[in-house]
Structure 1
């Protein structure tokens, strides 16, 4: 069961009595709960038939009593239990889940955790309701996710714009969606999001960002790499070292994998680079420039400078100076 399937069913007024939303990815849990709170019941019915509890303050018996009430002047009532992972004695809800009221739609948000599938409680929810378990999106899944989300809005987005957004924000889906909404509002009649839009509305320089630094290092273009780092030095919030180092590490880790591949064709390499042919070609060029030993050396340096960036074996060298040292050593 996915968030899309749950919401699709609800839009068709197809409901189960219990929905247990669990796991690492808050975005989907929040999306489903937000719909349950604001869209299942019309406004005229919500005043009498919507109950919202928060796990930290909720008493299990109060939640059960709310679930056991019959709706007033309506066919259904909605009971939400948000942040359920903070609720004490949550397993005592099992008695209600064993025999839920079908006029109640009980939705539980259980973030950052999952129930033990071996327990009776889990099996009871599975039998009488729906369990939606989420996993944190992986870095390599992010660009396709962004592209698909933009497409669902009837828009397109350039590949470079996708990469800029992904590199700048990371796997915070809620923030990504908010930034895309901001851009959409400012598009006017246009239907395509460009890197210029990312620069203007999100605040990411299309020339001086972690993605462009990665490209410069991959091409051993020291002059360009130093220019970008100098921009970071003048604009410390543009790309903190703890954002830049993982980007470089991810790139060289993929090159390291490439050297171990039997098939070293562009098509074989593409899946490592979000199926982007341009990125795959650049990676192949970087592999030739660095060789296996150079890539291995770069990874060791990245580990060393990651430690220095948090004060290990370093007496307070600035982030920009550390990055300059790092790229010079990598390219040599």
Structure 2
């Protein structure tokens, strides 16, 4: 069980008077703070029993005054101190008078206040105030999850959304992220966002399967291309170039992007005509044997173009695709040139 779940089972009277909350996983830290707030300052009581301080925008005197104020109509109040400057490596230090006052408070904190010190940057362990915090208060350190923990966390995240995830899908999902690698670039925020998308993708179905994870990753690519089409329709050359380069950076070949654009403009012409003839999105999806997600996107973005413009764009990309397949042109350079031409 993760620390932020444990706090739900602790009686309010036993919630610690001071927490030092640190670690690499910002999402878990925020959830811990959220759980504390739900326990100590639930809806309607925030004005009386919750005070927030952040960065340099406070004095130690003001902080301690708030901590020593009695709670209203409850056992304990919550004071959140986010990213205090005096704990940061380059944040400088407190004046001796302020540091002594804070240390005195930390030695004998009142039972009717919970001071939650929340640090997104690792506190400077060389500072005496950091050493005292680690010695006297409850330290909650949210490090990156190990593989077993990550699997349990993903299953719990799915359950929160009323979904389950198969063993194969769990492996497939983790494989799509570099979270467990030696030098990861992604966090639980990224995985949480993907779970949210998968839950929406399967609609009323209950289980996320490995086929769903694979299919959804295809639609992630499609969604990125639709955003490129959107910026193209608005003649935003720089934005379109950025979206194109992002797709390349994600490992998508330029030839694949161009081929998809050609097929997409062809589909957009068809769905536009079918909608004008009274077809609904679901009927269009059935008729074209496409996923409703793709059809809805095609309908949405086809509205940004006149039909003759869609035909013109289809011709553009059909000719470009032929030239690329004959080896006469470089795909990346050609795509960048065509973006400039269309947006000019």
Work out the CA distance in 1 between the residues paired with 2:119 and 2:164: 34
Q: Deviations over 1:257-277 (max 9, x none)?
A: xxxxxxxxxxxxxxxxxxxxx
Determine the structure 2 residue equivalent to 1:104: 113
Query: Given that residues 117 and 123 in structure 1 are in contact (C-alpha distance below 8 angstroms), is that contact kept between their aligned partners in structure 2?
Result: no
Query: Given that residues 114 and 133 in structure 1 are in contact (C-alpha distance below 8 angstroms), is that contact kept between their aligned partners in structure 2?
Result: no
1:178 pairs with one of 193, 206, 228: 193
Determine the structure 2 residue equivalent to 1:228: none
Work out the CA distance in 2 between the residues paired with 1:159 and 1:243: 27
Change beyond 3 A, Cα 1:96–1:110: same
Larger radius of gyration: 2
Work out the CA distance in 2 between the residues paired with 1:72 and 1:140: 42
Q: How many residues align?
A: 220
Determine the structure 2 residue equivalent to 1:150: 158
* Structure 1 segment 1-332 matched on structure 2, within 5 A: 2-4=2-4, 6-10=6-10, 14-84=14-84, 85=87, 89=93, 92=99, 93-114=102-123, 116=125, 121-123=130-132, 125-127=134-136, 129-137=137-145, 142-143=150-151, 145-147=153-155, 149-150=157-158, 155-171=163-179, 172-198=187-213, 203-204=219-220, 237-238=246-247, 240=249
Work out the CA distance in 2 between the residues paired with 1:160 and 1:240: 27
| C-alpha deviation, 1:31, in angstroms | 1.0
Change beyond 3 A, Cα 1:51–1:242: farther
Q: Deviations over 1:175-228 (max 9, x none)?
A: 21233234334544422112454456564469xxxxxxxxxxxxxxxxxxxxxx
Change beyond 3 A, Cα 1:62–1:43: same
| C-alpha deviation, 1:106, in angstroms | 0.8
| C-alpha deviation, 1:30, in angstroms | 1.1
Determine the structure 1 residue equivalent to 2:268: none
| C-alpha deviation, 1:157, in angstroms | 1.9
Query: Given that residues 55 and 83 in structure 1 are in contact (C-alpha distance below 8 angstroms), is that contact kept between their aligned partners in structure 2?
Result: yes
| C-alpha deviation, 1:126, in angstroms | 4.0
| C-alpha deviation, 1:22, in angstroms | 1.2
Work out the CA distance in 1 between the residues paired with 2:247 and 2:151: 21
| C-alpha deviation, 1:36, in angstroms | 2.4
1:20 aligned counterpart, secondary structure? strand
| C-alpha deviation, 1:10, in angstroms | 4.4
Unmatched segments (≥5 aa) in structure 1: 207-233, 245-316, 320-332
1:165 aligned counterpart, secondary structure? helix
1:111 aligned counterpart, secondary structure? coil
What is the RMSD computed on CA atoms of the aligned residues? 4.1
TM-score by length of 1: 0.53
Work out the CA distance in 1 between the residues paired with 2:11 and 2:206: 27
| C-alpha deviation, 1:101, in angstroms | 1.3
